[in-house]
Chains A and B, each alone.
Chain A
Amino acid sequence: MFRILDILFYILIVIAIVLPFLRNQELENPQIFVTAGDNFSKSLDPGIDSTYHFHNEKLDIEVQVKDGKVRMTDSHCKTKYCVKYGWLGKDDNGKIVCMPQKVIIKFTGEKESKIDAVVG
């Protein structure tokens, strides 16, 4: 059953969904950061097209960098959500996550706002 106050809460949800897209901060000197728990972290250059294979006793993933984007091409996990995520670009403002192997792949860099100056 619908109530009048529902509209307010639905508006809140819409704002929560749209907010990350409005921020749209560009990264300066972006780097691809791959971490796996506390034991492993690696920084990759998005300007170099290559495929990387990271393997140790707890980790077995393959990462591809191409045209400034990154994706997981293979992962030793059951559901392979991380592989299904697809390409991640520096402007996408998201991250590729593989929970079973505790892997996070994201773009890092200095954030630059699109606003050039604020005149008060």
Chain B
Amino acid sequence: MKFTYSSRVYIIAVFSALASMLQLLEIFIILPIPFIKIGLANSITLYFLKKREYLSAFFINMIRIFVGGFFSAKLFSLPFLFSLSGGIISFSVMYFLIVFFRDKISITVVSIFSAVAFNLTQYFLFSKIFGGVMEYDTTVSVIILLSIPAGIITAIVANGILNLNVDIVITKKGS
């Protein structure tokens, strides 16, 4: 399957919309512990990182966080800032793992670490802002444990997209 775009802007726009839709769908999935999200939208970011479209992946990740904040009426509120911080840290973790380890680690590990980074960032920010101190306690263990299935689900979705063998081609103007 091949999709041809004349500019990277179109790719970012289309897949940001898709990622935002996945993020908004997650609102209806309530998990037993706060701070925990499945992060289905992350599968799109993961796909583009695996395809070495790092800039597109970054912009898709950021745009879907802003869109999610806008549609949940929490733009620039504290939960949005937690989400944005988590998004930046989790993207950094995914980027680091994919760029430095390439094919030596599976996408499942990248996804799990991304989910852990996202949820722990929010938890530590919350602890620091409202508790005054960031503690590595048993709550962290619970958050890591619950991030693992979230990471696995995201990896399954990302693998599904990768297995579709979708080629996204950017054509230059005039060619």
Contact = CB atoms under 8 A, between A and B. Distances in A.
Interface of A: 1-6, 9-10, 13, 16-21, 35, 37, 79, 81, 84, 92-95, 97, 99, 102, 104, 106
Contacts of B108: 6
A97 B126 contact: yes
A94 to B, nearest CB: 4
Contacts of B130: 35, 37, 102, 104
- Name the prevailing secondary structure of the B interface residues: helix
- Name the prevailing secondary structure of the A interface residues: mixed
A30 B159 CA distance: 49
Contacts of A97: 34, 126, 139
**Size band of the interface chain B makes with A:** 20 to 34
B105 A92 contact: no
B7 interface: no
26 contacts: A3-B106, A5-B104, A5-B109, A6-B105, A6-B106, A6-B109, A9-B105, A9-B109, A9-B112, A16-B140, A16-B141, A16-B144, A19-B141, A20-B137, A35-B130, A35-B131, A35-B132, A79-B34, A92-B138, A94-B138, A95-B127, A95-B131, A97-B34, A97-B139, A99-B34, A102-B130
